[in-house]
Structure 1
Amino acid sequence: MDDDDNSTTDSESLRESTASITSSILEYRHINGRPFQQSKTTEYWAPTDDDYQEGQDILDMADEYPSAEVVGTDISAVQPAFIPPNCSFQIDDAQLNWTSNPDKFDFVHLRYLYGAIDDWKKLYRQAYTHLRPGGWVESLEIDIETHSENPKVEKDESHIFKKWFKLFFECGRRTGRTWEIARDGRQEEYMREAGFADLFSKSWKVPIGGWPEDKKLKKIGLYNGAFIDHSIDGFAIFPIGEILGWSQVEVTVLVSQMRKALREPRALPYFTV
């Protein structure tokens, strides 16, 4: 059987294995007027409304590599209205057994799964198993602790920046889905255990707001600050309200404090990825 036949068979197998979607993976619940996904293994913390549904990066990848088959997966129905012919989206849960054939992919990109995965080692093992020889897995996660270039703010243990990330870390301990995957070399450790040998790790400092003097970092900070300012409510509704049991008023006050602190000109905030 030639390569074309193999490719056709793999695609047909993948379509058949993902054709049956259980009703549970399409279940939603509403908290404070925002829809949240609820699947068999994942109570994902972010809302699933339009503010969080884009997938533009996947479309860009498909446009840049028109000869490649690009597949995006999510536990929610986030498919954009218009997609390139070589791109498809599937509703699936990465914590379940992957439905594609082993050695299927040349490149697997995992991103922003902090607070949602109950077994990171299994996730990386599955990625390794379904990767072709010579392929790559890219895992991009955020350390959600907000730091400050202002030493006075950075060293203040009572600052809202410190309170904020500690609350989310506690959420992870209660649910068994860590928010600390980007700390202490855990990604590298778990990937090495999964079988990956050629590991490369890089960390970036991402500013929040337009405070950097460097033009590129200033632009990044302005975009990042606008995104966080707009979406910070959605960060806290489920983790703080539902997992930690805070009232809606308490969550609103917490978010207001964090938003105000991030806007403070002397705060000089950033996080790392």
Structure 2
Amino acid sequence: MRPIRPLVRSRMLKVPSHTPRANKLPSGSSTTSVSESILEYRRIQGRTYHASKFANDYLFPNDDQQLESIDITHHWLTLLLDGKLFLAPIEKDVQNVLDVGTGSGIWAIDIGDQYPSANVVGTDLSPCQPSWVPPNVRFEIDDANEAWTWENDHFNFIHIRYLFGAIPDWYHLFAEAYRCCSPGGWIESAEADVRIRSDDGTADLEPVWETCNKMYEEGGKALGRDFFVSDLQVEGLKKAGFSNLKIVDYKIPIGGWPKDPAMAEIGRFVQQTLENDLEAKGYSYLLWNEVLQWPKDEYQLFLMQMRQALRNRKVHSYITMRYVYGQKPE
């Protein structure tokens, strides 16, 4: 596990910069129970997940393999935006930036480098971010699904990305973001719709894609955490009160099948992240076996068919990515 430097926001306690196993506070310390409970990661099939202190229906691991997938996803999303980190019209003198569900912290770190005068905060359920970060970047442990502890009108830019399957109430999330966003400030929500499809019908050549889509749809219903949130992005931001909404949709190839070299490169990175999960018994394992409790002996067949489908260049499959950004009225 990487060295860490987060805070526990609700109690404003600094978690020691050590690996979880090395973190031993004096028994008399008032921070002992808080920090130890956060670092008591759950272990399932060799993967680690956030502490049981938080809701146990969050499917995504917090180990190095997952952090690698997050970093790869950040890379292809940056390629998608032609090197940009966001689409919202943020001023160069932005002061306070919040990255909700920061994961590995890579977006917050890049923003800190790009905007050295800004104060950048990344929040997550797990202290899995690096300690070697720009001096204007810090990480805090916080559950975005609970009431936010930030003051009203504090952040000039709130960034929310790749949280599909993690949020039970998007309206609550965006309402809290609105309260904490400064008048004239911006919010950006970037989420994938992981339904696998094709425009030429070739996705039908691999029936496993339909199985995968069904797994996400039924798994999301069982968890109460939707994996398909593109409509919720727009509705939630409008209901919260944000205005000047702009919507930008992208088709994201799976694999290197596009003729356009740039999109083919993105597709190969997307394929890599999907294969990473299949090989490591990640969220697909939990959805199939623990949440839906589908036949366990069929899971290995599903994995084999998924690997085959991912490498089939005749199948022009893709997912979609929606960016929605808006402004809090002044």
For this structure pair, what is the TM-score category when the shorter chain's length is used for normalisation? 0.7 to 0.9
In structure 2, distance between residues paired with 1:39 and 1:180: 27
* Residue identity in the other structure for 1:208: I
Counterpart in 2 of 1:72?
122
Aligned to 2:175: 125
The amino acid that maps onto 2:273 is F
CA RMSD of aligned residues (A): 2.1
1:247-258 aligned at under 5 Å gives the runs 249-258=297-306
Report the AA paired with residue 43 of structure 2. Answer: H
Tell me which of 70, 82, 105 is aligned to 2:132. Answer: 82
- CA shift, 1:15, in A, is 6.1
Distance 1:18 1:249 in 2: 46
- 5+ residue gaps, structure 2, are 1-7, 14-30, 68-103, 322-330
CA 1:245–1:24 in structure 2 vs 1: closer, same or farther (change >3 Å)?
Answer: farther
Change (3 A) 1:234 1:109: same
- Paired position in structure 2 for 1:199: 245
Q: Offset at 1:104? A: 0.9
User: How far apart in 2 are the matches of 1:228 and 1:92?
Assistant: 27
Matched, 1:29 2:42: yes
3-state SS, counterpart of residue 202 of structure 1: strand
CA drift at 1:153: 2.7
Distance 2:219 2:320 in 1: 20
Match of 2:286 among 223, 238, 241: 238
The answer to which of 23-32 and 67-76 deviates more is 23-32
* Cα distance change, pair 152–225 in 1 and its aligned pair in 2 (3 A): closer
Give, as a single letter, the amino acid of the residue that structure 2 aligns with 1:32. Q
CA distance in 2, matches of 1:270, 1:66: 36
Aligned-residue sequence identity (percent) comes to 38
| Equivalent residue letter for 2:261 | K
TM-score (norm 2): 0.72
Instruction: Quote how far apart the aligned CAs of 1:213 are.
Output: 0.9
- CA shift for structure 1 position 17: 4.4
| Rounded Cα–Cα distance in structure 1 between residues aligned with 2:131 and 2:42 | 24
Aligned partner of 1:45 in structure 2 is 59
Q: Give the letter aligned to residue 243 of structure 1.
A: V
1 or 2, which has the higher helix percentage?
1
Cα distance in 2, alignment partners of residues 35 and 41 from structure 1: 15
Greater strand content: 2
Query: Could you list the runs of 5+ residues in structure 1 that have no partner in the other structure?
Result: 1-13
The aligned amino acid for 1:18 is: M
Query: 1:125 & 1:169 partners in 2: Cα distance?
Result: 25
Secondary structure of the structure 2 residue equivalent to 1:81: coil
Identify the match of residue 186 of structure 1 among 213, 227, 232. Answer: 232
Aligned 8 A contact 1:42 1:117 in 2: no
